[in-house]
Structure 1
Amino acid sequence: MPGEDTENQTVSETNVSEGHSSKKLLILIGALFTFLLIGGGIIAYVVLHNDDTSQTLPEETAKNDALTDIGALYPLDTFTVNVLSDDGREHYLKTQMNLELNTAEVNPEIDKKKAELRDIIIGILSSKSMEEVSTEVGKEHLKKEITDQINLRLAEAKIKNVYFTDFVEE
């Protein structure tokens, strides 16, 4: 049975060559899978990283523009008013501020209405409690209220912002 040996040898060689090709195929699939995982990770990082930067850049640009685009500042004299506390005790608030105008120059209307503007600010400050004005959020609300109330009484000039240059709570 000389043909059987040749046939068995051919079957063995086929099995060996199939074993090598299946090992090569598994290695190739593993390498491809690893490559896809690494590539996907890199793509995900780039996409997520770009989204984070694109969201913060406009905010930072707006802050920088706001700082460089300051209108004329109108300084006011010191305000000293009594304020109440939630515990019923009287305190005082001493503050000094500058009004930022929406123009590069001080409008004469501001000078003419200075007494009225001071009266508005004193009314607003004395209506607050110590707890309302002692936090950052409270100060921001105070600035907004002062800005809004003054702008209601101005015809030409408008207040853009209020800057506290001194703020003492006692």
Structure 2
Amino acid sequence: MEENGHQDMSPAADKSSGGGTMAEAEGQAGPARDMGKILTMIFIVVNFIGIGTGAYLVFSSTLGYQPKVTHNAELDKELQEFRKSIQKKPVIYSMETFNTNLDGIPRRLVRMEMSLEMLDEEGFEEVFSLGAEARDAIVRILNSTGYAELETVQGKLHLKNRIIAELNGFLDKGVVRNVYFSDFVVQ
């Protein structure tokens, strides 16, 4: 050491202080570097095992899950009856002519004749018994529909869907499958 408190960094001072050569320093860094590579490889392998285990658990608990199929004879019988009823010839109920106003200004009048395609005879009887209630529901739908909506084919299809939905809401057992317009005039 020098008098002013600084160390002498000359090569002679390094040899005298017991410091090793450069080869000795590399020899000590080599095992540390190898240990770092080994730890990195171990970390990668552990991560792959963890990801694989997690993927397996997710797949087996969600995507790979197949519930047990149970058959109920009564439900199967009911399903077969329903399929047979769909394949039968549909029942058509022709309604009287409608003359009513459309929504909007200028006031427009619509005259239409329509037929309801029912799923079965039971639905036909149910719609027939509704009578005025079914007609009133259809008139309310027409009164809330504007002329611009009925100008296009899409508008008429939307009207059909609204009528089907409204009438099926009234029916307990019957089902309206389709609505057919045989006369449709807007003035």
Calculate the TM-score normalised by the size of structure 2: 0.51
* Deviations 1:63-102, CA, capped at 9 Å, x for gaps: xxxxx976110000000111144xx211101001000001
Which of 149, 152, 155 is matched with 1:135 structurally?
152
> Is the CA contact (8 Å cut-off) linking 1:82 and 1:126 kept in structure 2?
yes
Change (3 A) 1:166 1:84: same
> Is the CA contact (8 Å cut-off) linking 1:72 and 1:105 kept in structure 2?
no
Shift of 1:103: 1.7
**Residues 3-152 of structure 1 correspond to what in structure 2 (within 5 A)?**
71-85=90-104, 88-103=105-120, 107-152=124-169
Tell me the percent identity: 34
* Deviations 1:116-137, CA, capped at 9 Å, x for gaps: 1000000001110001112100
* Deviations 1:20-65, CA, capped at 9 Å, x for gaps: xxxxxxxxxxxxxxxxxxxxxxxxxxxxxxxxxxxxxxxxxxxxxx
> Is the CA contact (8 Å cut-off) linking 1:70 and 1:100 kept in structure 2?
no
Residues of 2 paired with 1:155 and 1:136: CA distance?
30
Q: 1:97 is aligned with what amino acid?
A: M
Shift of 1:107: 3.1
Gaps of 5+ in 2: 1-86
Q: 1:93 is aligned with what amino acid?
A: V
Specify the structure having the higher radius of gyration (Cα): 2
Residues of 2 paired with 1:156 and 1:102: CA distance?
10
| DSSP 3-state at the match of 1:90 | coil
| DSSP 3-state at the match of 2:108 | strand
> Is the CA contact (8 Å cut-off) linking 2:122 and 2:174 kept in structure 1?
no
| DSSP 3-state at the match of 1:80 | strand
Gaps of 5+ in 1: 1-67
The answer for the alignment partner of 1:30 in structure 2 is none
Residues of 1 paired with 2:89 and 2:147: CA distance?
30
Which of 154, 159, 165 is matched with 2:176 structurally?
159
Residues of 2 paired with 1:155 and 1:105: CA distance?
10
Q: Which has the higher contact order (CA 8 A, sep 6+)?
A: 1
CA RMSD between the two structures: 1.8
The aligned length equals 101
Change (3 A) 1:123 1:114: same
Shift of 1:104: 5.6
Greater share of residues in helix: 1
Residues of 2 paired with 1:105 and 1:155: CA distance?
10
